[in-house]
Amino acid sequence: MATGVAQRTKFLLDESQLPKRWYNIRADLPTAPQPVLHPGTGQPVGPDDLAPLFPMALIQQEVSEEPEIAIPEEILGILSLWRPTPLYRAHRLEQALGTRSRIFYKYEGVSPPGSHKPNTAVAQAYYNKQEGRTRLSTETGAGQWGSALSFACRLLGLECKVYMVKISYEQKPSRRSMIQAWGAEIVASPSTDTESGRAVLAEHPDSPGSLGIAISEAVEDAAGRPDTAYSLGSVLNHVLLHQTVIGQEAIAQMELADAYPDVVIGCVGGGSNFAGLAFPFLREKIAGREIDVLACEPAACPTLTRGVFAYDFGDTSKLTPLVAMHTLGHDFVPAPIHAGGLRYHGVAPLISQLVRDGLVRADAYLQNDVFASALTFAGSEGILPAPEAAHAIHGAMATAMAADEAGESKTILFNLSGHGHFDMSAYDKYLAGTLEDVALDEDEMARALRAIEGLPTPA
Ligand SMILES: Cc1ncc(COP(=O)(O)O)c(C=O)c1O
């Protein structure tokens, strides 16, 4: 039987090939990012403004212009529990689609919590511990991030409190247990543990919660205790930085496959897995290489495709600094679709800037179409994907089919950011035919965008 590279399914790197440095796209951006503003003064925030919430090492990474930042040994040691992650050629999916294109995927679901999220959770827990913090607070949507931070805190000996968006808390009891198994304390958000949570409950006792609300609670928790720092699982520059091990590995693995992607695809909630895969390729695109880079989002929360680029708060209660990003408005509560990790009103400022500069494009999908693609994928490649990651699968399949229709053959690479083993209630609903398709309606969008009226305008 032929065993040439064209027949191979898995492209694996040795542990010694784990990237030793993170890639910082800020050094290469064609347009400088907009400054982060203090909501009270409207002036750019300085490191001291952020110090109550984050350790200095992460604040420095947030504003660093260095193209590469060394990864400390202790972090590499923990990452090597599951990294480098495999890259697959999706032969069987290609056959199922009958496509002329080649489809590859990078699989982040092999980490202990089941997604890309621990790539930054471990780094954040490490730097907080270095600077003497003993406890971290955070929000979680789908539960993947809460699991990842609970896991990282356990391995590094920190306490952890997780505010989990109520709808996911109810939909995913096993994620809850997983977070508790690694030792974190967990509460459904909006909760009565914080002023922000109590204010939302007073107005909307049945609120399903949102990432924006849960962030408010976690920030308030951290701001009120000197032993506690806040930890965010996406959006911020340093979080995206930590994820770039994904794309660096993928570049080496595509070389093993004797291939280079025409199209690089990821799903976008806050943007961290997308950035993790895409930024090292965008480095080459900015240097002149031709690559189509596609961000996939839900039609129920179409931040990049229909939101506006504006200064907005990262949370509902307006506790965070103002950042320039694509947003649907900070009090927007997305419909309770099953891709809980994609229900966020904003997106990473670095990705927003790249969309503005025409280096990244975006598309939005309805959840029944996404689940149909997830099952086609599971039926050929075997892996049952997280609903978030299934948006990238759907984007990759749509790209392959469009290429076929145009008589072209493309090399497509997407990020399979996590498995869906804790998302079975969503699959149950899809299989029972009771999953609702929700596209954001114009009136609700106009209402939500009124929340940003009067805030500073980006240059
Ligand atoms: C598996 C998975 N993929 C993607 C996301 C979206 O987050 P991000 O856009 O930061 O990658 C999440 C968020 O929870 C997730 O759990």
pLDDT tens for residues 139-160?
Answer: 998 899 999 999 999 999 999 9
The residue that leads in pLDDT, 39 or 393, is 393
> pLDDT tens for residues 234-269?
999 999 999 999 999 999 999 999 999 999 999 999
Tokens 């307006």 correspond to 318
> pLDDT tens for residues 278-296?
999 999 999 999 999 999 9
Q: Is the CB of 267 under 6 A from ligand 1?
A: yes
Ligand 1 atom 12: residue of nearest CA: 341
State how far the Cα of 89 lies from the Cα of 317, in Å rounded to an integer: 44
Q: How far is the CA of 341 from the centre of ligand 1 (A)?
A: 5
Q: How far is the CA of 339 from the centre of ligand 1 (A)?
A: 9
In the chain, what percentage of residues exceed pLDDT 70?
Answer: 99
The residue that leads in pLDDT, 167 or 128, is 128
Go through 12-30 and write b for each residue having 16 or more CB atoms within 10 A of its CB, e for each that does not: ebeeeebbeebbbbbebbe
**Phi/psi at 121 (nearest 5 deg)?**
-60, -45
Q: Is the CB of 269 under 6 A from ligand 1?
A: yes
Across 377-395, average pLDDT: 98
Ligand 1 nearest atom to the CA of residue 243, by list position: 11
Across 164-187, average pLDDT: 94
Across 324-351, average pLDDT: 90
**Phi/psi at 104 (nearest 5 deg)?**
-120, 150
The residue count of the chain comes to: 459
Across 94-105, average pLDDT: 98
Residue-level pLDDT at 2: 47
> pLDDT tens for residues 104-129?
999 999 999 999 999 999 999 999 99
Q: Reply yes or no on whether the pLDDT at 1 is more than 60.
A: no
Is 360 strand, coil or helix?
Answer: coil
Ligand 1 atom 5: residue of nearest CA: 341
Q: Is the CB of 418 under 6 A from ligand 1?
A: yes
User: Do residues 341 and 214 make contact, with C-beta atoms less than 8 angstroms apart?
Assistant: no
Probe residue for ligand 1, chosen from 237, 272, 419 as the CB with the greatest number of ligand atoms within 8 Å: 272
Across 435-444, average pLDDT: 92
Q: Is the CB of 392 under 6 A from ligand 1?
A: no
> pLDDT tens for residues 188-238?
999 999 999 999 999 999 999 988 899 999 999 999 999 999 999 999 999
Q: Is the CB of 115 under 6 A from ligand 1?
A: yes
- What is the reported pTM? 0.96
Q: Is the CB of 415 under 6 A from ligand 1?
A: no
Q: Is the CB of 146 under 6 A from ligand 1?
A: no
Contacts 24+ apart (CB under 8 A), 123-126: 123/71, 123/75, 123/242, 124/58, 124/149, 124/152, 124/231, 124/238, 124/239, 124/242, 125/149, 125/152, 125/153, 125/155, 125/156, 125/158, 125/231, 126/72, 126/74, 126/75, 126/156
Mention every residue, 6+ apart, whose C-beta is less than 8 A from residue 335: 300, 301, 436, 438, 440
Closest Cα to residue 170, out of 147, 194, 142?
Answer: 142
State how far the Cα of 18 lies from the Cα of 20, in Å rounded to an integer: 6
Q: How far is the CA of 109 from the centre of ligand 1 (A)?
A: 11
Ligand 1 atom 7: residue of nearest CA: 269
Residue-level pLDDT at 343: 84
DSSP 3-state helix, strand, coil percentages of the chain (rounded to 5)? 45, 15, 40
Residue-level pLDDT at 341: 83
Residue 3: band (very low, low, confident or very high) from pLDDT cuts 50, 70, 90: low
